[in-house]
Each structure stands twice: as structure tokens, then as C-alpha cells.
Amino acid sequence: MLVSGFVRNEARLTFDILAASRRSGDSLETSMAAWARPLGKLTDAERFPAVTAALRAGELDTPGGPDDEFVFGLERILDGAEALVSARS
């Protein structure tokens, strides 16, 4: 369920950002920056200092490779599942 939800969420997010870019006529880079701005306003710097630092550095303003974020997130989920299985063994 976790992997399925992750894949569904990533697909939806990608679709939403691309759709916003097409509707506005803005570049994908501009749409990514517009998406990141509200996230920066909602992120608590004390609770999430690394996320805050990444947002301030503009990490979400420009897209990486087409699958970079998806692969990174999926690897973290699978690493966590592997750690849980290993801990129970």
C-alpha cells in the first residue's frame, strides 16, 4: 500500500505541475518555482530545518531529471522496508 500510494501521489503531482504549466503558458521551471513558494511559507523552520534550507536554496525551483525525485523517494521507502525486515529477523 505504501509503494502504491507513493506512485499514485508522484503521478498526480507530476500531472498537476505539468497541467499548471500548460494552463499558464509558463515554463516548467516557472511552474515549479510557483509550486515551491507556498510550501516554503507552510514549512516550520524549527521542525524541518533541512526542508527549509532546501527550499531557500531553490532546490525545488527547477526540475531535475524526469525520474530523479521518484527514484530517490522509492529507494528511501524500500530502504525502510528492508530495515524493518532486517530488524525483525
**pLDDT for res 66:** 63
Going from the first residue of the chain to its last (89 residues), give the mean pLDDT of each consecutive group of 10, the final group possibly shorter. 95 88 86 77 90 83 73 96 94
- The answer to whether the pTM exceeds 0.75 is no
CB 51 within 8 A of CB 40: no
* Coil/strand/helix, residue 1: coil
* Coil/strand/helix, residue 80: helix
* DSSP letter string, 12-77: HHHHHHHHHHHHHT--HHHHHHHHHHHHHHH--TTT-HHHHHHHHTTTTTS--STTHHHHHHHHHH
